[in-house]
Amino acid sequence: MKLFGTSKINENGNLSIGGVDTVELAKEFKTPLYVMDQELIETTIDKMKEAFKSSRFGTQIAYAGKAFLTTGMAKLVEKKGLELDVVSGGELYTAYKAGFPMNRVHMHGNNKTYEELEMAVDYGIKEIVIDNEDEIEKIEKICKEKGKKQAVLIRIDPGIEAHTHSYIKTSGLTSKFGISLFQANLFDIVKRINNSQYLDFRGFHTHIGSQIFQSVFFIFALEEIFKYLDKLKKELGIVVHTVNMGGGFGVYYKEGDDPKPIEEVLKEIITYTEAMEIKYQIGFSELNIEPGRSIVGNAGTTLYTVGGIKETVGGKKYVFVDGGMSDNIRTALYQAEYEAGIVNKLEEKAEDEVTVAGKLCESGDILIQKGKLQKAEVGDILAITTTGAYCYTMSSNYNRMIKPAVVFVKDGKAKVAVKRETGDDLIRNDEIFEL
Ligand SMILES: Cc1ncc(COP(=O)(O)O)c(C=O)c1O
Q: Are residues 129 and 141 in the same domain?
A: yes
Indicate whether 3 belongs to any domain: no
Q: Are residues 273 and 303 in the same domain?
A: no
Q: Are residues 48 and 179 in the same domain?
A: yes
Q: What's the CA-to-centroid distance between 207 and ligand 1, angstroms?
A: 7
Q: Are residues 68 and 182 in the same domain?
A: yes
Q: Are residues 79 and 215 in the same domain?
A: yes
Indicate whether 316 belongs to any domain: yes
Indicate whether 225 belongs to any domain: yes
Is the whole-model pTM more than 0.85? yes
Provide the domain count of the chain: 2
- What confidence score (pLDDT) does residue 170 get? 59
First to last CA, the chain: 53
Q: What's the CA-to-centroid distance between 157 and ligand 1, angstroms?
A: 14
Q: Are residues 308 and 258 in the same domain?
A: no
Q: Are residues 177 and 71 in the same domain?
A: yes
Q: What's the CA-to-centroid distance between 86 and ligand 1, angstroms?
A: 10
Cα angle 291, 295, 299; round to 5: 155
- What confidence score (pLDDT) does residue 125 get? 98
CATH number, residue 142: 3.20.20.10
Identified catalytic residue from 313, 361, 432, 435:
361
Pocket flag, ligand 1, residue 171 (CB < 6 Å): no
Domain boundary among 232, 264, 296: 296
Pocket test for ligand 1, best of 69, 164, 290 (most atoms within 8 A of CB): 290
Where do the DSSP E strands lie in 38-194?
A: 58-64, 83-86, 105-107, 127-130, 150-157, 179-180
Print the domain residue range for 85. Answer: 38-296
- What confidence score (pLDDT) does residue 172 get? 61
- What confidence score (pLDDT) does residue 175 get? 80
Q: Are residues 129 and 78 in the same domain?
A: yes
Pocket flag, ligand 1, residue 293 (CB < 6 Å): yes
Number of alpha carbons in the 13 Å side-chain half-sphere of residue 316: 11
- What confidence score (pLDDT) does residue 169 get? 55
Pocket flag, ligand 1, residue 106 (CB < 6 Å): no
Our measurement of the distance from residue 277's CA atom to the centroid of its chain's CA atoms, rounded to an integer in Å, reads 29
| Contact criterion met (CB below 8 Å) for 296 and 389 | yes
Q: Say whether 361 is catalytic.
A: yes
Q: C-alpha distances in angstroms, 317 versus 108, 309, 323, 352, 368?
A: 43, 7, 18, 9, 12
70-77: Cβ within 8 A, 24+ apart: 70/94, 70/392, 70/406, 70/417, 70/418, 71/97, 71/98, 72/98, 72/408, 72/415, 72/417, 72/418, 73/296, 73/417, 74/98, 74/100, 75/99, 75/100, 76/38, 76/41, 76/42
For the chain, the helix, strand and coil percentages under 3-state DSSP, each to the nearest 5: 35, 25, 40
Q: Are residues 292 and 303 in the same domain?
A: no
Which amino acid residue places its CA nearest to atom 12 of ligand 1? 247
CATH number, residue 353: 2.40.37.10
Indicate whether 15 belongs to any domain: yes
Pocket flag, ligand 1, residue 207 (CB < 6 Å): yes
Indicate whether 44 belongs to any domain: yes
- What confidence score (pLDDT) does residue 176 get? 87
Sign, CA torsion 204/209/210/215 = negative
Pocket test for ligand 1, best of 73, 176, 207 (most atoms within 8 A of CB): 207
| Contact criterion met (CB below 8 Å) for 336 and 253 | yes
Pocket flag, ligand 1, residue 83 (CB < 6 Å): no
Indicate whether 2 belongs to any domain: no
Which amino acid residue places its CA nearest to atom 10 of ligand 1? 248
Q: Are residues 287 and 371 in the same domain?
A: no
pLDDT along the chain (435 residues), means of 10: 98 98 98 98 98 98 98 98 98 98 97 98 98 96 98 93 60 80 92 97 95 92 94 95 97 96 97 96 97 98 98 96 98 96 97 98 97 98 98 98 98 98 98 95
Residue 412 CB: number of other CB atoms within 10 A? 10
Sign, CA torsion 396/129/47/167 = positive
- What confidence score (pLDDT) does residue 164 get? 58
Domain boundary among 258, 280, 296: 296
Could you give phi then psi for residue 304, rounded to 5 degrees? -130, 160
- What confidence score (pLDDT) does residue 299 get? 98
Indicate whether 432 belongs to any domain: no
Q: Are residues 184 and 237 in the same domain?
A: yes
Radius of gyration of the chain (CA): 23
Indicate whether 276 belongs to any domain: yes
Q: Are residues 263 and 338 in the same domain?
A: no
Domain boundary among 234, 268, 296: 296
Pocket flag, ligand 1, residue 18 (CB < 6 Å): no
Q: C-alpha distances in angstroms, 163 versus 53, 66, 213, 222, 392?
A: 27, 21, 8, 17, 25
